[in-house]
Amino acid sequence: MILVKTEAGQRALKDRSVPLSPRQRSAFILFDGKRSVDDVLAAGMGIAREDIDQMVELGVLAPVGGTPSAVPVSAGSELVPPSTGAAASISSGRSKQQRYKDAYPIATQLTGSLGLMGFRLNLQVEGTASYEDLVALAPKIRAAVGPEKAAALDKALND
C-alpha cells in the first residue's frame, strides 16, 4: 500500500500539533505518494507497522487516492494540493489546484528577490500547501514588493 501525507499531516508537520515520536516523524517525511509502506519500513528508520497504523488513525497519512484530503508531495518537496474537481472551478474555468500551481512559482520568485529582508516571507510561501494558503499570504507579498510587481501574482490567483 502507498500512503501520502494529508493536509492535516502537512499542518502537523509544521506546527507539531499531532504528537509523533522522532522515529514516526522521520518515517512520516518519507511518505511521498510514491514509496510503499514496505519501502518505508525497510528504510531503516526503526519504525514498526503499528507506528504507521497510528499515523493513519491520527489522520496524518492516507492511502493514495483514498481521501480528498491526501496531498501528494513531489520529489522536489513542492506541495501539490489535491484536485477538488468541478467544485473548485472558478469563473475562468481554472481549478484552485491550477491557480496554486501557476501562482506558487511567481510568489517564490517575488519573495526570493527581496533577499534577506524577504527570507521569512519566502519560507512562508514555501510552506503553503494549498490555494487558500497562498491567497491568505498574498497581501503580505503585495505589501513587501508593491502592487506593480504583485500584479502577476494577483492575475495567477484570480484570473
Domain ranges of the chain: 2-63, 88-158
Q: What pLDDT was estimated at residue 84? A: 36
Angle at 68 between CA 62 and CA 74, to 5 degrees: 65
Q: Determine contact, residues 3/62, Cβ cutoff 8 Å.
A: yes
What single-letter DSSP state applies at residue 76? T
Q: Determine contact, residues 58/25, Cβ cutoff 8 Å.
A: no
Burial status of residue 90 (CB atoms within 10 A of its CB: 0-12, 13-18, 19 or more): middle
Q: What is the number of helices (H) and of strands (E) in the chain?
A: 8, 3
Angle at 28 between CA 101 and CA 84, to 5 degrees: 35
What single-letter DSSP state applies at residue 66? T
One digit per residue, the tens of pLDDT, for the chain of length 159 reads: 888 888 888 887 788 777 777 888 888 888 888 888 988 888 877 888 888 888 888 888 888 876 444 444 333 333 333 333 333 334 457 788 888 888 888 988 898 888 887 889 888 988 888 888 899 999 999 999 998 989 999 998 987
Q: Which residues contact 103 (CB under 8 A, 6 or more apart)?
A: 131, 134, 153, 156, 157
Q: What pLDDT was estimated at residue 7? A: 86
Q: What pLDDT was estimated at residue 76? A: 34
